[in-house]
Structure 1
Amino acid sequence: MTVWISDDIVSGWYYRGPQRQGGRLVYSDVAIETALKLKGIYHLPLHQTQGSVYSLFKALVVTITSPDYTRFSRRGATVNPSLQASMPSRPIALVFDSTGLKVYGEGEWKTRMHGISKRRTWRKFHLAVNASNQDFVVVWQDDRDGWVDIYARVYNYKCEPQTPEVKVNEDGIKLDHILPVVSFTDAGIAVAWQDNRDGVTKADIYFRYLKYDLSPITPSKRVNGDVEAKHFSPAIAASDSGYFTIAWISYQNHAYGDIYAQRYDRDANAINQNIKVNLSITPVACRIPSVTMGIDNVSFWTSWADSQNTSLMYQIRARYFDKNPGQRAGRHLWAVL
Structure 2
Amino acid sequence: MPHKFNANRRGKIPKQKYRVSNWASYNESLRRRGDLTVWVSEEALGLWRAPRRATRGGQRTYSDLAIKICLTLSAVFKQPLRQTQGFMGSIATLLGVEIAVPDFSTLSRRGKGLTLPATRKTDRSDPVHLVVDSTGLKVFGEGEWLEQKHNTKRKRRSWRKLHLGLDLVSGEIVCADLTKDDVGDPTALPDLLDQVDGPVDMFLADGAYDGEPTSDLLAARFGSAIDVTIPPPKTAILSPNAAKDPTARDCHIAEIAARGRMAWQKATGYNQRSRGETLMGRWKAVIGPKLKARNFENQKTEAKIGVRVLNRMTGLGRPSFERTA
What range is the shorter-chain TM-score in?
A: under 0.3
TM-score of the superposition, structure 2-length normalised?
Answer: 0.24
More helix by share: 2
TM-score of the superposition, structure 1-length normalised?
Answer: 0.24
Higher relative contact order (CA 8 A, sep 6+): 2
